[in-house]
């Protein structure tokens, strides 16, 4: 996938690039409004990550530009401002998602995949990983043709891990993914273990291999190696 990262904080920009390149994506970077405009005019991307506060302009203007040019790239706004108004404004100007800083790279990656999937013409509504098949519309997990019953949180968590397959996901990222940020419980990481244990058990019971690996006690990796 070709991804454009418009972000003026270079530290963050480099981290995102490093993470996404490892996933096999092609990344270009822009740290100013002018630079971003230049790239958008010349190239097409699958997904654009857009920081709203740029040193020389408002990120929202770039959304207007994309609209005028009839470009259909998926756009994810990444902003430090957690305001409903800005979120609504961004989404109504054509952004596909709104991610609030600070975020985990695994979360960003999952969102990118979701946006690109939604945008793609074929609109694949299921994801496969070896013998596991995840139906996004029915919100069902099917292993070897059998439906495995999962709670909403378990389903979301599995999807999250599959989207970031081969990557280590920290407990912190997993907690934030299923709990959002409106609970005051995000600092209690350990119960995520229970969730993973349940998902694991259900998958193995249905005949799947065990793909979850605990890493350094920090997090988990979903991989078939």
Instruction: List interacting residues with other proteins (CB under 8 A).
Output: 9, 11-12, 15-16, 18-19, 22, 78, 80-84, 100-106, 153, 167-168, 170-173, 175-176, 181-189, 191, 194-195, 215-219
The residue whose two tokens read 């081969």 is 166
CB-wise, 43 or 191, nearer to other proteins? 191
Question: Residue 105 Cβ, how far from other proteins at the closest point, in Å?
Answer: 4
CB-wise, 119 or 153, nearer to other proteins? 153
CB-wise, 66 or 199, nearer to other proteins? 199
CB-wise, 64 or 151, nearer to other proteins? 151
**Dist. CA 219–CA 99, nearest whole Å:** 22
Question: Residue 181 Cβ, how far from other proteins at the closest point, in Å?
Answer: 6
**Dist. CA 169–CA 128, nearest whole Å:** 19
CB-wise, 70 or 194, nearer to other proteins? 194
Helices (H) and strands (E) in the chain, counts: 8, 14
Q: Nearest to residue 157, comparing CAs of 169, 144, 145, 143?
A: 169
CB-wise, 66 or 79, nearer to other proteins? 79
Residue 176 DSSP code: H
**φ and ψ at residue 87, rounded to 5 degrees:** -60, -50
52: how many CB neighbours lie within 10 A of its CB? 22
Question: Residue 62 Cβ, how far from other proteins at the closest point, in Å?
Answer: 19
Question: Residue 83 Cβ, how far from other proteins at the closest point, in Å?
Answer: 7
Instruction: Please tell me whether residue 180 adopts helix, strand or coil conformation.
Output: coil
Question: Residue 127 Cβ, how far from other proteins at the closest point, in Å?
Answer: 21
Question: Residue 207 Cβ, how far from other proteins at the closest point, in Å?
Answer: 25
Structure tokens at 120: 């793609």
Which spans in the chain are helix H?
Answer: 10-22, 33-42, 59-68, 84-92, 105-119, 152-163, 171-179, 192-205
């Amino acid at each position: 996938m070709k991804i454009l990262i418009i972000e003026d904080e270079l530290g963050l920009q480099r981290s995102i690039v490093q993470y996404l390149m490892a996933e096999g994506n092609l990344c270009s970077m822009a740290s100013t409004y002018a630079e971003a405009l230049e790239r958008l005019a010349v190239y097409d991307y699958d997904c654009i990550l857009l920081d709203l506060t740029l040193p020389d302009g408002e990120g929202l203007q770039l959304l207007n530009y994309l609209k005028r040019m009839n470009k259909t790239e998926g756009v994810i706004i990444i902003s430090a401002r957690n305001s409903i108004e800005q979120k609504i404004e961004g989404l109504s100007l054509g952004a596909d998602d709104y991610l609030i800083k600070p975020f985990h790279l695994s979360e960003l990656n999952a969102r990118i995949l979701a946006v690109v999937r939604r945008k793609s013409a074929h609109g694949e509504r299921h994801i496969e990983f070896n013998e596991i098949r995840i139906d996004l519309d029915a919100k069902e997990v099917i292993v070897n043709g059998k439906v495995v019953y999962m709670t909403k949180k378990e389903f979301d968590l599995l999807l999250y891990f599959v989207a970031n397959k081969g990557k280590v996901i920290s407990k912190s990222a997993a907690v934030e993914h299923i709990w959002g940020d409106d609970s005051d419980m995000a600092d209690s990481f350990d119960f995520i273990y229970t969730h993973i244990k349940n998902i694991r058990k259900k998958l193995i019971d249905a005949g799947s291999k065990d793909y979850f690996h605990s890493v350094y006690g920090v997090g988990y990796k979903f991989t078939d190696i």
